[in-house]
Amino acid sequence: MTDRVTEMVVEERPEGYSGSSGGSPREPTSARESLRIPRIVVHAFCDSPEAAAAIECAAADRLMSRARVAVQSGGVAAAVEHYNQTPTPDLIIIESRSQHDAFLAELDRLAEVCYAGTKVMAIGSTNDIAFYRDLMRRGISEYIVAPVDPIALISSIAGIYGASSTGKLGQVYAFIGAKGGVGSSTLAHNVGWTVAHKLGSNVVMADLDLPFGTASLDFNLDVAQGVAEAIQDAGRLDEVLLDRLLQKCGDHLSLLSAPATLEKAYDVQDGAIEQLIEVAQASVPFLILDMPHLWTSWARNTLISADEIVITAVPDLANLRNAKNLIHVLRQARPHDPPPKLVLNQVGMPKRPEIKVNDFAKAVDLKPVACIPSDAHLFGTAANKGQMVAQASAKGAAVKAFSEIANVITGRQEAKHSRGGYLGLGSLLGRTPKKPA
Ligand SMILES: Nc1ncnc2c1ncn2[C@@H]1O[C@H](COP(=O)(O)OP(=O)(O)OP(=O)(O)O)[C@@H](O)[C@H]1O
Ligand SMILES: [Mg+2]
């Protein structure tokens, strides 16, 4: 069976493209569906106009409509210069016309500016098994011999991220307050926004506080059924339905909002949140869960299974007791994971007696990753305007703290200068991201 989309892609090849159409067999439609590329950010640095044209051609295919693809010329040198200033994306496609050792040396230079979570696909002209093995040894995810066939390229990207690849795409970060009203949702929204806007990664924010969630207010969006529909009939949810339920909120951020109405009660079916996480995780690199202040079985299981947990607490006695209990239970349930991240919020509120940061940390046996000062005017202004704190005022300790938390949980940084230590060569050496405990 001939695939009409494939036909169109082949017919509409941009001028200058001279790639081989024999690189991979044309797949029937149903097989092509399995090649749908998730919501990743892809940067391509090409050494030849032909490769750039083929990648642009692939990017225009519907199978890549969720991914954001940027193609530029200049090859490895341009990539290294670029990533000296900017964080690396989910996937870099690098083309070089250099041969064997020279190409490997170029990739080693790229490795020095690459984050641990970034994958690299190489395009070259050497068709040699020893060279291929050298590339694989360096942790390169895929190697394609030029000329590039757009469909073969999509298939290779799908191979890296698809069902057949090991490991899931998305990292899940769950944010919960040690007590109600401590600012956990505010933190989740601002950190998610920072990951999307400053680190340029695609993020889905799920507001799991169905009756009272504030995400749509904070992002100034119309209330939608989002999460409620997604979990209504767990077996029904797939990537297509999830796409329909997501509300776009800027280039890299999508929101699954809470209905925030009280006409009905929101009992969560067994496995519904799990299914939501699984589907979202398959299509986006970062999933942020804005958890309600609850301790039901679904809330507990969701926290335990998250990649990272961020506990927000205010420095008073009730928060200390609850944070201590939460940290203890989560440490016990996740003995091989780093402990949850603790954030002390609303520190230094005028006239309020507070437990000192050091004493709080000692009592819960965990150092906070950030302390955010109380600033009723700044947070109140942002909340009332439906803005993020950084949009209300770009400077200040809170905005810096959001960036630091985003860096700690994602293992990425906004700029290269402090990238050392757990980042850098990791990806190309095939290591998993090492995050500070
Ligand atoms: N550092 C801060 N300084 C001043 N006000 C803050 C600060 N952080 C959050 N707030 C304010 O505290 C209020 C509660 O915040 P938020 O809704 O994020 O808390 P929560 O922990 O998610 O509450 P809930 O238990 O209802 O889910 C909001 O009005 C928010 O603007
Ligand atoms: Mg909340």
Q: What is the mean pLDDT of each run of 10 residues along the chain (437 residues)?
A: 32 35 40 74 97 95 87 96 93 96 95 91 94 93 95 92 61 96 98 94 96 97 90 86 93 95 91 92 93 96 93 98 97 89 97 96 97 97 97 94 94 50 29 33
Which protein residue's CA is at the shortest distance from atom 12 of ligand 1? Answer: 183
The radius of gyration computed from the CA coordinates of the chain, to the nearest angstrom, equals 23
pLDDT for 339: 94
d(CA 405, CA 344): 12
Between the CA of 202 and the centroid of ligand 1 the distance, in Å, is 25
- The residue whose two tokens read 């803005």 is 387
383 in ligand 1 pocket by Cβ < 6 Å?
yes
Closest CA to 290 of 186, 384, 379: 186
Between the CA of 377 and the centroid of ligand 1 the distance, in Å, is 12
Between the CA of 308 and the centroid of ligand 2 the distance, in Å, is 17
Between the CA of 245 and the centroid of ligand 1 the distance, in Å, is 26
Strand residue runs (E) in 314-400: 341-347, 370-373
Q: How far apart are the first and last CA of the chain?
A: 53
345 in ligand 1 pocket by Cβ < 6 Å?
yes
User: Which atom of ligand 1 sits closest to the CA of residue 213?
Assistant: 27
pLDDT for 413: 64
Ligand 1: residue of 176, 186, 214, 371 to mutate (most ligand atoms within 8 A of CB) is 186
pLDDT for 436: 33
pLDDT for 414: 55
Between the CA of 185 and the centroid of ligand 2 the distance, in Å, is 4
Q: Are 221 and 249 in contact (CB under 8 A)?
A: yes
292 in ligand 1 pocket by Cβ < 6 Å?
yes
d(CA 80, CA 110): 5
Report angle CA 87, 201, 289 to the nearest 5 degrees.
130
Domains of the chain: residue spans and CATH: 4-161 (3.40.50.2300), 171-415 (3.40.50.300)
User: Which atom of ligand 1 sits closest to the CA of residue 212?
Assistant: 26
